Amino acid sequence: MDDRELLDTMLRLVASEPSERGLMAKGVALLARERPHFNWIGVYLLQGGMLVLGPFVGKPTPHVRIPLGQGICGAAAQSGQTIVVDDVQADPRYLACSLETRSEIVVPIVRNGRVLGEIDVDSDAPAAFSEADRLLLEAVAKIFASRL
């Protein structure tokens, strides 16, 4: 499905899924299914200066708790800005999750200027994330923010 249909489907999930965790779990599953280059996708929630892994699709990661400021995840949460890394091996901030991962995008979930968490996506392809992917994930992050 195209981005518009995907976001419409996500908004229908918001209406039909009463729990915030259920919404995030179904949301990341939808994205993983519809965007095959999203090889790992998960939501981290900021709890007392720590990013805590919530619903995800993909191989288990050792990074279930990431301190603010560590890794690409911690940098994105600290700055409140999306970070796109075309080559994770060339970024000294990168915390390895899977040996296959080549590129990553991290999109903060922000409400009223406050970072509540983030959506983290890894791809096994280098430079996998387009401007369209960024806009799609930023729209999904806004939808999640409305429910957190």
**Residue from 57, 97, 89, 55 nearest 73 by CA:** 97
Long-range Cβ contact pairs of 84-93 (< 8 A, separation 24 or more): 84/129, 84/134, 86/126, 86/127, 86/129, 87/126, 87/127, 88/122
Exactly one of 46, 97, 105, 119 binds ligand SME (CB under 6 A); which one? 97
**Is position 63 an interface residue for ligand SME (rule: CB under 6 A)?**
yes
Distance (Å, rounded) from C-alpha 16 to C-alpha 61? 29
**Is position 108 an interface residue for ligand SME (rule: CB under 6 A)?**
no
Spell out, one character per residue from 10 to 39, where the chain touches ligand SME: x when CB under 6 A holds, - when not.
Answer: ------------------------------
Helix (H) or strand (E) holding 129: none
User: Total residues contacting ligand SME (rule CB under 6 A)?
Assistant: 13
Exactly one of 104, 110, 140, 141 binds ligand SME (CB under 6 A); which one? 104
For residues 124 and 102, the answer to whether their CB atoms sit within 8 Å is yes
Shortest Å distance, C-beta 46 to ligand SME: 13
Which positions touch ligand SME (CB under 6 A)? 40, 61, 63, 66, 71-73, 94-95, 97, 104, 120, 122
